[in-house]
Structure 1
Amino acid sequence: MHSSGTSGASRTGTDVLVIGGGLIGLVTAWRAARRGLRVALADPDPGGGAARVAAGMLAAVTELHYGEETLLGLNVASAARYPEFAAELAEASGGLDIGYRACGTLAVALDADDRLHLRELHALQRRCGLDSQWLTGRECRRLEPMLAPGVRGGLRVDGDHQVDPRRLAAALLAACERAGVAV
């Protein structure tokens, strides 16, 4: 990085080189450029890769796994900050919609094994102080009528969110461009 103690010197080159233009690389490049750094992003197809096939779940509660309890605090805090991030990115990208929805998650059990797994997950969520609700199969179908009649139960997590990863990538690319990131 260029020292601020060289007043009057011409600044050329790059302060930060981000290798990989997936979602994390794009966010890194955009944030660094917003902080006044000269940023270059190296990727033959920025915004491609996993962003084109990811589901876009922002599901700190639903996607909790055993052994990840120490990571849970960071995941929940990150999810809570996402609406602010989405609004900031919309402004920085010139108003592009990233498909952010705070719509919750419904995870359903299709058989006895799924039901047991979701019951165990629900117990873990409750032990961790998370807000989730066990639903019968009938209650699941009331929320989502297109579910199969054989659904045996499920978990409703209102605090989970989702984003459209393809829209997110497009907005990040636009924000990078507007912030002066060299791709």
Structure 2
Amino acid sequence: MRIVILGAGILGLATAVELASHQAKQQLDINVVDPAPMSGATYHAGGMLAPTAEMIYQQDSLFPLMQTSAQWYPELIKTVTEHTSLPLGYREDGTLVVAADRADAQHLRNVMHYQHAYGMNVEQLPLSKARQIEPALHPHLAGVVSIPGDHQIAPRVFAAALYDAAINLGVTFHPLTATHLRISEPAKGGAPVHVHTTGSTFPADQVVVANGLGASTLSGWHPCATQESSPLKLRPVYGDIVRLRVPTYLRPFIRKVIRGFVEGRPIYIIPRDDGTIALGATTREDSRPAPHLGGVYDLLRDAIRIAPGLEDCDFLEATAGARPGTPDDLPYLGRVNDHVVMSTGYFRHGILLAALGARVSRELVLGQPLSADIRECCPLRHLVNV
């Protein structure tokens, strides 16, 4: 079977590894098309695997997907580990969520009650105990919650490991941009799909579209899909993220992911194995691809409010990335015809949902029973007058 995957961010790479590691019964020829692998939203992501902390009101359809994907992550980690010697950046230290003032503490309690209603493992901690666990926390926080089951992965590190594992599994990468799919009745032995790119044309039996916002300009996969208009209602949602380096004498500064609310503004502080820390993330829809000064200022100020010792860290970079959002914040995941699987629109949960998106895409491509209920993720659900 000839398979072409469009996109080599976290979703495309994980899908390639899923497929290549499950080809015992049939030989798969897997090609991945992406002009700049491991870039895009993946490069700028925070990497929190946090289905509990990421619960947002009125997104009940999203919760089961996030929980399922988090449960599947260890298996994906195991698969990647078997095919690469590179580090993965996976950490299971858990998460603390903190509140800066009384209003933030009330919000934290409200969210905790909501999480308990879904049976999630969330525990309120005295500040004294929290500071025993993470001494870098400010001594005058208004509330702390522990979420031991929320983990993290370093997206850049993990993407490099996925890329290496895919190559070791026989996947071929092509630094090209896909522009058009031509679907036709194949001649005997021919291909039902031809993937046209900026440099070559690839015959395929199955195509997985996992190129994020690029899916909105891909034509040919549906009668309504042109380069000017798409059945996919994707929009770029930008987020600023800051990276710091912790001086050697302060390491380890923190071990757990620290999430917080400061005057209602969300903030997260993510420690990495290499002694760096990521601060994030803002959310804006202003089509400005560069980091926003106000957003960077907010991140630094709020992070220092939670962990004052961050003032002694070195500033490494501020970046901004565009995440593919949908009108209902659910991904576009599923078949759009007999030969094309759509896997995009993961918005702020792309890293977390990568395990689910990759496995479901593999099951769809290989005709296997689905392990998750994705009916509400239909890629054509926002197409009017189908």
Q: Match for residue 130 of structure 2?
A: 140
Structure 1 or 2: larger helix share? 1
Q: Does 1:22 align with 2:9?
A: yes
- Counterpart AA for 1:61: T
TM (normalized to structure 2)?
Answer: 0.42
Q: Match for residue 57 of structure 1?
A: 48
Structure 1 or 2: larger strand share? 2
Query: What per-residue deviation string (whole Å, max 9, x for no partner) do you get for residues 148-175 of structure 1?
Result: 1221112100111111111110111001
Q: Of 107, 113, 116, which residue of structure 1 is paired with 2:106? A: 116
Give the whole-Å Cα distance in 2 for the aligned partners of 1:78 and 1:43. 24
Q: Match for residue 79 of structure 2?
A: 88
Q: Does 1:69 align with 2:56?
A: no
Q: Does 1:171 align with 2:182?
A: no
Q: Match for residue 219 of structure 2?
A: none
Give the whole-Å Cα distance in 2 for the aligned partners of 1:69 and 1:147. 32
Deviation at 1:43, TM superposition (A): 1.2
> Structure 1, unaligned stretches of length 5 or more?
3-14
**Does structure 1 retain, via aligned residues, the 8 Å contact 2:17–2:80?**
no
Deviation at 1:127, TM superposition (A): 0.7
Deviation at 1:48, TM superposition (A): 1.7
Q: Of 122, 145, 155, which residue of structure 2 is paired with 1:155? A: 145
**Does structure 2 retain, via aligned residues, the 8 Å contact 1:140–1:153?**
no
Give the whole-Å Cα distance in 2 for the aligned partners of 1:39 and 1:81. 23
Give the whole-Å Cα distance in 1 for the aligned partners of 2:92 and 2:129. 20
Q: Match for residue 12 of structure 1?
A: none
What aligned pairs does 1:43-54 form with structure 2 within 5 A after superposition? 43-54=34-45
**Does structure 2 retain, via aligned residues, the 8 Å contact 1:105–1:161?**
yes
- Counterpart AA for 1:55: G
What aligned pairs does 1:6-17 form with structure 2 within 5 A after superposition? 15-17=2-4
- Counterpart AA for 2:147: V
Secondary structure of the 2:37 match is coil
- Counterpart AA for 1:86: I
Query: What per-residue deviation string (whole Å, max 9, x for no partner) do you get for residues 12-33 of structure 1?
Result: xxx2221111100111122223
**Does structure 2 retain, via aligned residues, the 8 Å contact 1:69–1:128?**
no
> Structure 2, unaligned stretches of length 5 or more?
174-386
Deviation at 1:140, TM superposition (A): 2.3
- Decide whether aligned partners of structure 1 residues 62 and 127 sit closer, same or farther in structure 2, where only a CA change above 3 A counts: same
Q: Does 1:182 align with 2:182?
A: no
**Does structure 1 retain, via aligned residues, the 8 Å contact 2:99–2:105?**
yes
Q: Match for residue 69 of structure 2?
A: 78
**Does structure 2 retain, via aligned residues, the 8 Å contact 1:64–1:125?**
yes
**Does structure 2 retain, via aligned residues, the 8 Å contact 1:109–1:118?**
yes
- Counterpart AA for 1:137: L
Q: Number of paired residues? A: 169
Q: Of 9, 31, 46, which residue of structure 2 is paired with 1:40? A: 31
Deviation at 1:70, TM superposition (A): 3.3
Secondary structure of the 1:92 match is coil
- Counterpart AA for 1:146: A
Query: What per-residue deviation string (whole Å, max 9, x for no partner) do you get for residues 61-120 of structure 1?
Result: 111111223332332232122222212111112x22212111111011112232122111
Q: Report percent identity of matched pairs.
A: 38
- Counterpart AA for 1:44: P
Give the whole-Å Cα distance in 2 for the aligned partners of 1:50 and 1:176. 20
Greater relative contact order (CA < 8 Å, ≥ 6 in sequence):
1
- Counterpart AA for 1:92: H
